A and B are shown apart, each in its own frame.
Chain A
Amino acid sequence: GAVVSQHPSRVICKSGTSVKIECRSLDFQATTMFWYRQFPKKSLMLMATSNEGSKATYEQGVEKDKFLINHASLTLSTLTVTSAHPEDSSFYICSASRDPRYQPQHFGDGTRLSIL
């Protein structure tokens, strides 16, 4: 079946640094990928839709200058948390679909980000 790989699985860094998270679709081309954020014991909140070759579409309330998304190829999208602060600590999950018009989406295993 389809596999989405997310890296790193866990990262701990100091406040003020930038952190890049990668999301790869391993056996299919994904023109659209999605980035979610999950707070402890909470549901997934869609942050943005990553579109290959164009700008990402951000959900209301998500700072696009804070969470930079790049979708440079059909198999890779990256999320960069810039100048990270402790409140950015969270579980970030990406997903991708073979055809963006349809579901289901396939999810990565998530990245646990901890900002000290």
Chain B
Amino acid sequence: AQSVTQLGSHVSVSEGALVLLRCNYSSSVPPYLFWYVQYPNQGLQLLLKYTSAATLVKGINGFEAEFKKSETSFHLTKPSAHMSDAAEYFCAVSVMYSSASKIIFGSGTRLSIRP
């Protein structure tokens, strides 16, 4: 069964520093993988997605993620953190069933930015 594991429930970095949020997946078939961001009391916004094309995926707000099959990882990075990046980040995998697919989310990582 497909699943994702996010390592670290809370990550804190200084403004301007590298952001690295870790995600490992488990899937018996080539997965579709996603990163979503959630700001307080809001829904989720898609940052980027991997759908078996390029392994390095660029998303919005300067984020990118690299799909590494050998490591079963899909870590999210951003070269330089901004205060506005403080939010909850969810890694997710798409699970096919019947004629539709559903998303299974990781447990989330809260990103804090220090001035």
Of chain B, the residue at the smallest CB distance from A38 is B38
What 1/0 flags go to B47-71 for Cβ under 8 Å of A?
Answer: 0010100000000000000000000
- The answer to whether A103 touches B34, judged by C-beta atoms less than 8 angstroms apart, is yes
With both chains docked as a complex, state the minimum distance between the C-beta of A12 and any C-beta of chain B, in angstroms: 14
Instruction: Flag if A44 contacts B105 (CB, 8 Å).
Output: yes
Q: How distant is the Cα of A100 from the Cα of B100 in the complex, in angstroms?
A: 5
CB-CB under 8 A from A41, the residues of chain B are: 110
Is the Cβ of B46 less than 8 Å from the Cβ of A102?
Answer: no
B58 to chain A, nearest CB (A): 15
Is B107 a contact partner of A42 (Cβ separation < 8 A)? Answer: yes
Interface pair B41/A112, CB less than 8 Å apart: yes
Interface centre among B42, B90, B102 (most CB of A within 10 A): B102
Enumerate chain A interface residues (CB-CB to B < 8 A): 4, 6, 32, 34, 41-44, 46, 49, 91, 93, 95, 100-110, 112
29 A-B pairs, CB-CB below 8 angstroms? A4-B43, A6-B43, A34-B102, A34-B103, A41-B110, A42-B107, A43-B106, A43-B107, A44-B105, A46-B103, A46-B104, A91-B41, A93-B43, A93-B44, A100-B99, A100-B100, A101-B96, A101-B100, A101-B101, A102-B32, A102-B101, A103-B49, A103-B51, A103-B101, A104-B46, A105-B103, A106-B46, A108-B43, A110-B43
